[in-house]
Amino acid sequence: MEDAIVKAAALLGAGLAMGFGAIGPGVGEGFAAGKACEGVSRRPEEASLLTRTMLIGQAVSESTGIYSLVIALLLIFLFGK
């Protein structure tokens, strides 16, 4: 019985980790892309610089989503078996 509760809690925790862990990067990347589009519309000659900077910022933002994926996978494969 205890084993089933631990498995259920691990799988629920993995789902919550991915759910909440994906909100931040999703909002952050969308905000960055929107601001980059605004910047390109104001100064088209700086499009390559803005795009490069936006992509670096999105990569940094996505790292938190990857951390939550790692935690979710650890919960599934270490405790969910």
Tell me the pLDDT tens digit for each residue of 33-79. 999 999 999 999 999 999 999 999 999 989 999 999 999 999 999 98
Range of the domain at 61: 2-79
Instruction: Please state the domain count of the chain.
Output: 1
Confidence class of residue 1 from pLDDT cuts 50, 70 and 90?
confident
Contact 21, 64 (CB under 8 A): yes
3 state SS of 80: coil
Q: What is the CATH number of the domain that holds 65?
A: 1.20.20.10
Calpha distance 61→52 (Å, rounded): 14
CA distances from 79 to 19, 20, 44, 64 (A): 19, 20, 52, 22
* pTM tops 0.85, yes or no: no
